[in-house]
């Protein structure tokens, strides 16, 4: 697999883990950044297919709901630190 091509074609790219893996606040922030990017990407795709492909639109809507839920869980975890 060509990892560089995967990164180039991804909507959000790749962010290396923090150099200090015990820095939980940074890990959570990195995850929140990734969740926000995924939410934006799925929102765009959902809107793109809204009128032309209802099934694909619904798939992206479900993915979007999952990402929003994940983001809320990470925000709650971060606020408890």
pLDDT at 1: 67
CA dihedral 70, 73, 75, 80 (to 10 degrees): -160
Dihedrals phi, psi of 19, to nearest 5 degrees: -65, -25
- Using one digit for the tens of pLDDT, what is the confidence trace for 1-11? 687 887 888 88
Query: What is the C-alpha separation between 55 and 61, in angstroms, rounded?
Result: 10
- Using one digit for the tens of pLDDT, what is the confidence trace for 10-53? 889 888 999 999 999 999 999 999 999 999 999 999 999 999 99
Q: What is the mean pLDDT of residues 46-66?
A: 97
Tokens of 69: 């839920």
pLDDT at 60: 97
Query: What is the C-alpha separation between 9 and 20, in angstroms, rounded?
Result: 28
Query: What is the C-alpha separation between 44 and 57, in angstroms, rounded?
Result: 10
Q: Which residue has 């962010």 as its token pair? A: 15
């Amino acid at each position: 697999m060509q990892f560089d091509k995967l990164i180039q074609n991804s909507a959000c790219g790749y962010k290396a883990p923090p150099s200090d893996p015990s820095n939980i606040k940074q890990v959570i922030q990195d995850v929140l950044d990734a969740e926000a990017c995924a939410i934006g990407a799925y929102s765009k795709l959902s809107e793109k297919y809204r009128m032309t492909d209802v099934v694909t639109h619904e798939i992206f809507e479900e993915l979007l709901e999952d990402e929003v839920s994940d983001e809320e869980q990470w925000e709650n975890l971060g606020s408890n630190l």
